[in-house]
């Protein structure tokens, strides 16, 4: 049988002549429902797999969904510096009197609405960095999340036991939010978003029409590239996506992304995976003011840097509409217990934002009445 040479997921290989995409997947025992395929950097829709014949020299990419939520390479994890913060030095202790950004009409039991999607839970949880698929599945359930994030990758189509992450995710229970983690330019982010959409359309999951957009500036800080992020937002909105965009806490950038059509702007609390919490609450407050100026219900979600339950609670108390996190649960000593803590913190912070805190004062104010005291001295 005559063969041809192609590049498959970055590796040169030989396949029989006249092989279709469907044939190639069948030869490798890959379930097309879990996959998306590119030929020479162009998406091949699932409906065309059987008719698309692979030619000599073609570059074929086969990708699937993998655990994701925050991008942090193993190399960087080994080099990261541990930072210790005292609660007494947190910026949150500054005496700044501001009204809650939550509209007076909102209550804790109102749904979170992002574009055409509506959810009860305001906690969005990533699926990466768990020690086992079983731990991931349990934490997703305990967290109460209805939206979970995944990454799109060409490796780990199945593990050594023949399992895919989707075997552990109830696609009828969760709306999948595919992300573009690991992309460093607008074009790559758009490609990855389209691949994610192809997979989720095949799985008939409602998350097929949206994307968590990340376009990073470098691998050390994992901070977003503002210009490339704006360019990718414009392209994806034009392509019919509902875009939830990861950005810095810069209010000007946030406003530009909203004007570009983003369904939600998601300022970082602190760098991805750092666990530093909300480093600049004043900027988050300004983002909320600007983004909700013409639409009080526009969803603003804190994304990245959350380390523990108090970070989630504080973010919600600022008046944001939700929190997206991954490492804070997956990296905890007891992920299942932390998943529960994050759930409760999200609910508590939301209630506190709606209730309205008492004003900070320099001097004490007695809570017991002066009237009726017994005679002293």
Number of residues assigned to the chain: 377
- Residue carrying the six token digits 């930072």: 83
Buried b (16+ CB within 10 A) or exposed e, 173-193: ebbbbbbbbbbeebebbbbbb
Closest CA to 249 of 305, 321, 202: 305
Closest CA to 165 of 87, 86, 67, 95: 67
Residue 270 tokens read as 């602190």
Looking at residue 95, its pLDDT comes to 40
- Interval 186-199 mean pLDDT: 94
10 Å CB burial of residue 54 (0-12, 13-18, 19+) is: buried
Which range is least confidently modeled, 73-82, 88-97, 121-130? 73-82
Does residue 263 contact residue 291 with C-beta atoms inside 8 Å?
A: no
Please compute, for residue 251, the number of CA atoms within 13 A of its CA located in the half-sphere on the CB side.
14
Q: Which residues contact 230 (CB under 8 A, 6 or more apart)?
A: 253, 256, 257, 260
Does residue 236 contact residue 255 with C-beta atoms inside 8 Å?
A: no
Q: What crossing angle do the helices spanning 133-143 and 335-355 adopt, rounded to 10°?
A: 20
List, for residues 243-271, the tens digit of each pLDDT value: 999 999 999 999 999 999 999 999 999 98
Q: What pTM was estimated for this model as a whole?
A: 0.83
Looking at residue 72, its pLDDT comes to 41
| Residue in 129, 172, 212, 220 annotated catalytic | 212
3-class state of residue 214 by DSSP: coil
Does residue 69 contact residue 46 with C-beta atoms inside 8 Å?
A: no
Closest CA to 301 of 341, 258, 259: 258
List, for residues 79-113, the tens digit of each pLDDT value: 333 333 333 334 344 444 445 555 554 544 689 99
Tell me the C-alpha distance between 154 and 58, whole Å: 16
- Ordered structural domains, the chain, with CATH: 3-63 (3.10.20.30), 74-355 (3.20.20.70)
Does residue 243 contact residue 233 with C-beta atoms inside 8 Å?
A: yes
Tell me the C-alpha distance between 160 and 133, whole Å: 13
Does residue 35 contact residue 21 with C-beta atoms inside 8 Å?
A: no
Greatest mean pLDDT among 154-158, 217-221, 315-319:
315-319
Looking at residue 156, its pLDDT comes to 59
Tell me the C-alpha distance between 287 and 275, whole Å: 21
- Interval 295-306 mean pLDDT: 94
Q: What is the mean pLDDT of the chain?
A: 86
Which range is least confidently modeled, 103-112, 123-132, 248-257, 301-310? 103-112
- φ, ψ (nearest 5 deg) of residue 178: -70, 140
Tell me the C-alpha distance between 232 and 129, whole Å: 27
- Interval 125-154 mean pLDDT: 92
Looking at residue 90, its pLDDT comes to 41
172 classed as catalytic = no
Tell me the C-alpha distance between 152 and 182, whole Å: 9
Q: Which residues contact 147 (CB under 8 A, 6 or more apart)?
A: 117, 119, 121, 124, 125, 174, 175, 176, 177, 207
List, for residues 5-52, the tens digit of each pLDDT value: 999 998 999 999 999 999 999 988 888 888 899 999 999 999 999 999
**Helix, strand, coil shares of the chain as percentages rounded to 5?**
35, 20, 45
Looking at residue 74, its pLDDT comes to 37
pLDDT of residue 124 exceeding 80, the answer is yes
Tell me the C-alpha distance between 248 and 255, whole Å: 11
Looking at the chain, the whole-number percentage of residues with pLDDT higher than 90 is 66
339 confidence band (pLDDT: 50, 70, 90): very high
pLDDT of residue 361 exceeding 80, the answer is yes
Looking at the chain, the whole-number percentage of residues with pLDDT higher than 70 is 87
Residue 318 tokens read as 């600022």
Tell me the C-alpha distance between 39 and 62, whole Å: 9
List, for residues 343-358, the tens digit of each pLDDT value: 999 999 999 999 888 8
Distance in Å from the first CA to the final CA of the chain? 108
């Amino acid at each position: 049988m005559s063969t041809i040479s192609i590049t498959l997921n970055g590796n040169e290989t030989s396949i029989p002549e006249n092989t279709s995409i469907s044939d190639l997947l069948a030869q490798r025992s890959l379930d097309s429902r879990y996959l998306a395929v590119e030929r020479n950097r162009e998406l091949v829709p699932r409906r065309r797999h059987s008719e698309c014949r692979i030619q000599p020299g073609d570059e074929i990419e086969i990708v699937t969904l993998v655990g994701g939520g925050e991008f942090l390479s193993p190399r960087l994890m080994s080099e990261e510096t541990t930072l210790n913060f005292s609660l007494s030095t947190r910026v949150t202790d500054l005496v700044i009197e501001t009204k809650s950004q939550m509209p007076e009409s909102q209550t804790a039991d109102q749904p979170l609405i992002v574009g055409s999607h509506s959810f009860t839970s305001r906690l969005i949880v990533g699926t990466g960095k768990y020690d086992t698929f079983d731990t991931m599945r349990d934490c997703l359930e305990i967290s109460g999340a209805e939206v979970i994030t995944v990454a799109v990758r060409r490796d780990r189509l199945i593990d050594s036991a023949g399992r895919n992450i989707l075997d552990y995710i109830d696609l009828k229970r969760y709306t999948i939010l595919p992300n573009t983690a690991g992309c460093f330019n607008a074009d790559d982010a758009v490609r990855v978003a389209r691949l994610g959409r192809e997979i989720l359309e095949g799985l008939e999951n409602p998350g097929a029409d949206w994307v968590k957009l990340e376009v990073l500036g470098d691998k050390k800080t994992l901070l977003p590239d503002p210009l490339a992020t704006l360019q990718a937002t414009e392209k994806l909105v034009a392509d019919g996506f509902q875009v939830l965009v990861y950005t810095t806490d810069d209010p000007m950038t946030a406003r530009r992304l909203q004007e570009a059509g983003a369904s939600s702007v998601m300022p970082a609390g602190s760098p991805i995976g750092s666990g530093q919490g909300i480093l600049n609450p004043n900027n988050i407050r300004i983002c909320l003011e600007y983004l909700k100026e013409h639409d009080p219900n526009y969803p603003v979600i804190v994304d990245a840097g959350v380390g523990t339950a108090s970070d989630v609670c504080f973010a919600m108390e600022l008046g944001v509409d939700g929190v997206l996190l991954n490492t804070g649960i997956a990296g905890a000593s007891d992920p299942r217990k932390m998943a529960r803590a994050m759930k409760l913190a999200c609910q508590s912070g939301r209630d506190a934002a709606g209730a309205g805190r008492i004003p900070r004062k320099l001097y004490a104010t007695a809570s017991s009445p002066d009237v009726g005291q017994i005679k002293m001295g």
